[in-house]
Amino acid sequence: MAFPFLTRTAWAVAACALTLTSCDKLVNGVVNEVEFPEHEPRLAFTMFLAPGDTVVEATIYRSAGILDSAGSQALQWATLKVSQDGQTLFAGDSSHWTEDDVEPWMQDANTFMSIGLDAPLTLGEGPVVVEVDASPEFEALVLTEEVPERPAFGFEYVPLADSVDYGWGDMEYFDQVTLDLSNRPGVRDDYMVFLEAYFEGSEDDGKWYAEGDLAFPDPRAEYSWNCGCVLVTDNGQNNIDLNNLVLEMYAGDVEDPDEGGTQPKRIRVVRPSADLANYLKSVEAYFNAQGNPFAEPASIQGNIPDGFGIFGLSNAAIEPLN
């Protein structure tokens, strides 16, 4: 009868020995030296284009690793050219680089190429070609993107359709828009939807501001802080109905539209290229995962071969709401 007892004792002694050994390692520390991989600089290029643009902005940078205190560097000698059907639409060089007025610690993060056009940009059907020359540091970059089809949509606008009563006479009002979008058979459809209000500036320099959001949660759409818009997609499925999307926009804290909150309002529906849609969604996922230990790591998707960034095209349709 002693044999089982001794066996259990032996196991107990062995377990204690292992525990003491592990504790000793914990107290004395275990150091594993891992060399951080060196970063190979790559070309980072980003530019968005749409018919009607009067100013085109682009960034052309040399990427840097996280251990590089200097950070990514603007390649201000680089040039670019955009063409369609063999005709040059516009070009940019070192004379087009500009800098925002930023704090010194931001370095040249807001250094970019800004190209003013003589007339609103006209893009026909067919591919648009961009050529970037950042030699001798990088090989020439040539990218081709198709101009997305101009979106068609229907909508119903109801001013002051909803309100929120915070008590003590504090009320907020919201306009509502019910939107119908098309789902083209055999084609993936992505949309960026903006509900915008116009605010006049101090010197007749008014500007349209996006103020729209989903009125209710909807699996077909999500609000994106990255673009300040509602992203809608059919995920390439023909059986997804994109009608009756309900959105709302802030309409002020006065009930009578004749007494305030009557600035012009509009709906702007943008169809991005597939690459641009993927980029916007990946940026959203990337930043949503930051600081969340339970989130699945996400990477930003681009279309620059062996580099970083995005060349994105879009096409928009605009209708007034009031």
1-10, 73-82, 94-103, 123-132: least confidently modelled range: 1-10
Cα first-last separation, the chain: 94
Sequence-ordered list of residues with C-beta below 8 angstroms from that of 97, at least 6 positions apart, any chain: 74, 76, 111, 112, 113, 114
Q: What tokens does 25 get?
A: 């390692």
In 50-140, where do the E strands start and end? 55-62, 73-74, 79-84, 87-92, 97-99, 111-116, 127-133
- pLDDT above 70 as % of the chain: 82
DSSP one-letter string for 155-168: EEEEEEEEEEE-ST
DSSP one-letter string for 205-236: --EEEE-EEESS--TTEEEETTTTEEEEE-TT
Q: Which ranges in the chain belong to alpha helices (H)?
A: 2-28, 274-289
- CATH architecture for residues 43-146: Sandwich (2.60)
Residues 183-207 pLDDT 10s: 999 999 999 999 999 888 766 678 8
Residues 14-29 pLDDT 10s: 444 444 455 555 455 5
- Residue type present at position 165: D
Q: What is the pLDDT of residue 24?
A: 53
Q: What is the pLDDT of residue 157?
A: 95
Q: What is the pLDDT of residue 207?
A: 87
Task: Name the phi and psi angles at 20, rounded to 5.
Answer: -65, -40
Contact, 248 vs 215, CB < 8 A?
yes
**Rounded to whole angstroms, how far apart are CA atoms 310 and 58?**
10
Does this model's pTM top 0.85? Answer: no
Q: Where in the chain is the domain with CATH 2.60.40?
A: 43-146
